[in-house]
């Protein structure tokens, strides 16, 4: 499969993360790679990308997985496409491909990549609302009803970017995790344009929970969320339920909770987060996250920096966890 850069005319049937204004906001450079049939020249797939320059590194990063065009793409053909994407980035002088954002679940990965299983929980919004509600776990439905009885309300907070960032940072800190700075977050949210939305759960005039969404007709993504430490019971569950109803009413075809670790440790926070998503009736889509060396020295330096900063990146964490789980069994 031949790979070359192409222009695209973004439309709402494509993922929001393929939109030019978003890619421009989150990368130092950006573009779209097209996979063309070697014999006919037909465009088979598209892969949006960003290039990030940070200190000595020149890194490629994907913001959404391979997008099929017209006809389904076999996993074998996608692997060939990704192998050729690596060659293309090498020709640009890119040092490495870093792990994609957690909404990005590839079905396969290129040769010689460091890869790990990863997934995401997704709800089909084309089904009737009553079906979506019935598929939600009984206890989760009760939590939502309790929040309503406690007069938790959901409102649009799309202009309240600073407060959303503050609460998300606090939430990440409680889990001893880093989060992006305000300027980067602001660019991210603004890059979504009219297809970005922040929802707030309030109780007695006090924000309990914030959630940041990006959406198009293709899919709504629950990208980031933050809660106060002792939020009103069910507040964030009601927020998600109202978001699901809102995006369904707008004609969005699916709802993505964004990111799910495969086989998380028992009793871990990741396990409880996955359980929350399952209790909403979401189905797990499994695939892979990966990174790839192009310049071996720079790749080694990147891995050392990631390990020093936070014990490694998400691929390292998932590969270590998978190895540990395998050894235990």
Query: pLDDT tens digits for 139-198?
Result: 999 999 999 999 999 999 999 999 999 999 999 999 888 899 999 999 999 999 999 999
| CATH code of residue 28 | 3.40.630
- Which pair of tokens denotes residue 123? 């709800």
Count structural domains, the chain: 2
Residue 237 lies in a domain: yes
- Whose CA is closest to 237, among 268, 186, 190, 203? 203
Is position 261 within any domain?
no
* 93 lies in some domain: yes
Q: What is the pLDDT of residue 329?
A: 45
Residue 214 pLDDT > 90, yes or no?
yes
- Selection from 224, 229, 240 nearest residue 180 by Cα: 224
Look at residue 211 in the predicted model and tell me its pLDDT: 97
Q: Place 264 in a pLDDT band, splitting at 50, 70 and 90.
A: confident
Query: Domain check: are 248 and 134 in the same one?
Result: yes
Q: Is residue 279 part of a domain?
A: no
- Tell whether 150 and 232 lie within a shared domain: yes
Query: What is the sign, positive or negative, of the torsion defined by CA atoms of 130, 240, 103, 260?
Result: negative
Nearest to 102 by CA among 114, 121, 119: 119
Report the CATH number at residue 202.
3.40.630.30
The tens digit of pLDDT for each residue in 239-249 reads: 999 999 999 99
The reported pLDDT for the residue numbered 309 is 84
Comparing CA positions, the residue from 280, 266, 273, 249 lying closest to residue 324 is 266
88/184 same-domain check: no
For 7-41, the pLDDT digits (tens) are 999 999 999 999 999 999 999 999 999 999 999 99
pLDDT for 323: 65
Pair (57, 160) in one structural domain: no
What tokens appear for 268 in the block?
């871990």
Q: Which of 252, 276, 306 is where one domain is finished?
A: 252
Residues 135 and 80 in one domain: no
Same domain, residue pair 107 and 132: no
Looking at the structure, tell me whether residues 37 and 77 fall in a common domain: yes
Which residues share a beta bridge with 285?
Answer: 120
* pTM (2 d.p.): 0.94
The answer to whether residues 90 and 38 belong to one domain is yes
In a domain, 263, yes or no: no
Q: Does the pLDDT value for residue 325 go beyond 60?
A: no
Strand 220-227 relative to strand 283-293, pairing: unpaired
> In this structure, are residues 252 and 125 in contact, taking their beta carbons and an 8 Å threshold?
yes
**Considering 234, 252, 270, which residue would you say is the last residue of a domain?**
252
Query: Could you tell me the residue range of the domain that residue 43 belongs to?
Result: 2-113+289-328
CA distance 260 to 280: 14
Q: Are residue 134 and residue 109 in the same domain, yes or no?
A: no
Percent above pLDDT 90 for the chain: 88
The first and second tokens of residue 2, run together, are 């031949």
282 domain residue, yes or no: no
Q: For position 324, what pLDDT does the model report?
A: 58
Asked if residue 265 belongs to a domain, the reply is no
* 189 shares a domain with 248: yes
Q: In which band, very low, low, confident or very high, does the pLDDT at 49 lie, cut at 50, 70 and 90?
A: very high
Query: What pLDDT was estimated at residue 263?
Result: 82
Mean pLDDT value across residues 37-62: 96
Whether residue 302 lies inside any domain: the answer is: yes
Domain co-membership, 247 together with 133: yes
Q: Rounded mean pLDDT of the chain?
A: 94
Q: CA 188, 194, 276: angle at the middle one, nearest 5?
A: 65
Residue 322 has pLDDT above 80, yes or no: no
Mean pLDDT of 210-227: 97
Q: Which H or E element spans position 116?
A: strand 114-124
% of the chain surpassing 70 pLDDT: 98
Residue 320 and residue 217 in one domain: no
Q: Which of 200, 229, 252 is the last residue of a domain?
A: 252
């Amino acid at each position: 499969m031949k790979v070359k850069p192409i222009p695209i005319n973004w439309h709402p049937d494509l993922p929001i993360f393929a939109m030019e204004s978003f890619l421009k906001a989150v990368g130092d450079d950006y573009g779209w790679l097209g996979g063309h049939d070697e014999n006919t020249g037909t465009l088979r797939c598209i892969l949006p990308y960003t290039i990030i320059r940070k200190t000595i590194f020149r890194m490629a990063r994907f913001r959404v997985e391979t997008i099929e065009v017209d006809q389904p793409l076999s996993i074998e053909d996608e692997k060939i496409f990704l192998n050729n994407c690596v060659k293309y980035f090498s020709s640009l002088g890119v040092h490495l491909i870093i792990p994609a954002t957690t909404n990005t679940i590839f079905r396969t990965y290129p040769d010689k990549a460091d890869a790990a299983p990863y997934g995401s929980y997704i709800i089909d919004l084309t089904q009737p609302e009553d079906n979506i509600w019935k598929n939600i776990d009984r206890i989760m439905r009760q939590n939502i009803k309790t929040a309503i009885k406690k007069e938790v309300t959901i409102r649009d907070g799309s202009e309240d970017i600073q407060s959303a960032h503050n609460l998300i940072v606090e939430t990440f800190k409680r889990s001893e995790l880093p989060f992006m700075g305000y300027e980067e977050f602001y660019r991210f949210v603004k890059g979504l344009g009219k297809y970005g939305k922040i929802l707030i759960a309030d109780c007695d005039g006090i924000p309990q929970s914030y959630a940041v969404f990006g959406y198009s007709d293709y899919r709504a993504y629950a990208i980031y969320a933050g809660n106060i430490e002792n939020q009103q019971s069910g507040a964030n569950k009601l927020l998600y339920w109202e978001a699901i109803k809102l995006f369904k009413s707008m004609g969005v075809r699916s709802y993505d909770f964004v990111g799910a670790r495969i086989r998380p440790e028992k009793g871990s926070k990741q396990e409880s987060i996955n359980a929350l998503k399952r209790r909403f009736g979401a189905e797990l889509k499994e695939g892979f996250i990966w990174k790839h060396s192009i310049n071996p020295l720079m790749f080694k330096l990147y891995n050392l920096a990631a390990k020093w900063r936070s014990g490694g990146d998400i691929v390292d964490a998932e590969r270590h966890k998978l190895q540990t789980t395998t050894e235990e069994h």
